[in-house]
Structure 1
Amino acid sequence: MDTLNAANRYFYFGMICFVAMLYALLINIYYLNYDIIHQTYITQLSDDNVAAVLETSKRWAWISLLFLPLVIISRVLYTAVCLSIGGILKSDEAAFMKYFNISLKAEAVFALMLLTKLFIFGCIRMPADLIELNIIPFSLYDLLKQHHLEKWQLYPLQTINIWEVFYALLLAKLLSYNNSKPFLSNLLFVCCTYGVGLLIWLLIIVFFTVSIQ
């Protein structure tokens, strides 16, 4: 924990981006293929259309690599803002950059999740379609194995996962290391700040998903 807390945030951010880009690169090269697209749209697209979709997906997959650092920094900022608002309401004098640094270090959980997905795909089971390719391992959706759900149900069931639990626990542990407060007190703080922020985000995504259906 000392090593994690003391790690240079620029180097650490670079390592998180490296893992995310490595994951996206390997998925694009080894798993995003004709069979995956064909199995996903088997009753909807002709062979020519499947090839066109694959070509477009490959092109955008390479471009999306450039946006991964922005996605990661946005997620870190969102968590830091949630924690910071909670700190302000509690009259906590911790600076925003302290919360930002803690949120960044906790991203190790999601980097581990990506590596776990690669391990599962490489050693346990190959994804059969795009749905399986995008499943978060050990999420509620993964455990239920339900493929006939409404679109608006997919994101919440994916977001309820063991990694979010680990993320909250690591946030609380890092907070305890920095403010010397009991772990359970900081865990409650995380649930009331990041947890509420995550719930708000889920409601926004569900609202827009239902609206465009």
Structure 2
Amino acid sequence: MTDEIYIQHLFKQSSIEKIDEILSLRAEWSWLNFLIVPLIHIIKVLLISFWILCGMIIFGFKSNFNSIIRVVLVAEFVWLLPSIILVFWFGLIDTSYTFSDVQTFAPLSLLILFDASQLESWLIYPLKSLNLFEVIYLLVLALGIKKIIKKDYDSALKFTLPVYGSALVVWILFVTFLSINLGA
């Protein structure tokens, strides 16, 4: 995201002085991303692992937290694919993009079936979240859980689908609730 993209997006809403202030603030605090992004990913992995551990207890499987964390960490590599596609798309194919284009870019999701500019803002996140990468993530997670519970893949998938699926639904509802209440 270059300064030009931010200027394009903010130009309709703010004065030049305000845009300069926002860009200088962004540059001044950009180092914070190096702390926040890894922290968010660590929290995400821990929450998903904890949710799966709770599911293991409920379903009567025995496991330790470390083995679940390892499985979740391996599955997290699936999320590199949409990032690579995003960089490839806006780096080589669509080089004249806007801030909105990047925000609503969701390859292989339900959002591509709609015109994002015509949708209510609270609908964008749920439609972006329901995508092929989420399915691949679930399948990779089930593969790792198969090794933990020492059952066949079908049993692992029957465990993973409701456990991870319920976590995903709760998360999507939470973000949608925030979107509606914060007016984003």
Aligned to 1:107, what secondary structure does the other structure show? helix
Q: Tell me which amino acid in the other structure corresponds to 1:152.
A: W
TM-score (norm 2): 0.87
Distance 1:74 1:43 in 2: 36
Say if 2:93 is the partner of 1:162. no
CA distance 1:60–1:160, change in 2 (3 Å): farther
Assess if the C-alpha contact under 8 Å between 2:116 and 2:124 holds in 1.
no
**Alignment pair present for 1:59 and 2:45:** no
> Which residue is equivalent to 1:207?
177
Tell me how far apart the structure 2 counterparts of residues 68 and 111 of structure 1 sit (CA, whole Å). Answer: 14
Q: Give the gaps of 5 or more residues in structure 2.
A: none
Residue in structure 1 matched with residue 50 of structure 2 by the alignment: 81
Aligned length: 182
Q: Is the Cα contact below 8 Å between 1:141 and 1:158 reproduced in 2?
A: yes
5+ residue gaps, structure 1, are 1-30
Q: Percent identity?
A: 29
Shift of 1:161: 1.6
Contact 2:106–2:112 (CA under 8 A) maintained in structure 1: yes
| Structure 2: distance between partners of 1:94 and 1:131 | 44
Task: Please tell me the root mean square deviation across aligned C-alpha atoms, in Å.
Answer: 2.0
State the shift of 1:200 in Å: 0.7
8 Å CA contact 1:86–1:193 kept in 2: the answer is yes
The structure 1 segments of at least 4 consecutive aligned residues displaced by more than 4 Å after TM superposition are none
Offset at residue 58 of structure 1 (A): 3.4
Q: 1:173 aligns with which of 143, 147, 150?
A: 143
Q: Is the 8 A contact 1:156 1:202 kept in 2?
A: yes
SS at match of 1:147: helix
In the TM superposition, 1:21-40 aligns within 5 A as 31-34=1-4, 36-40=5-9
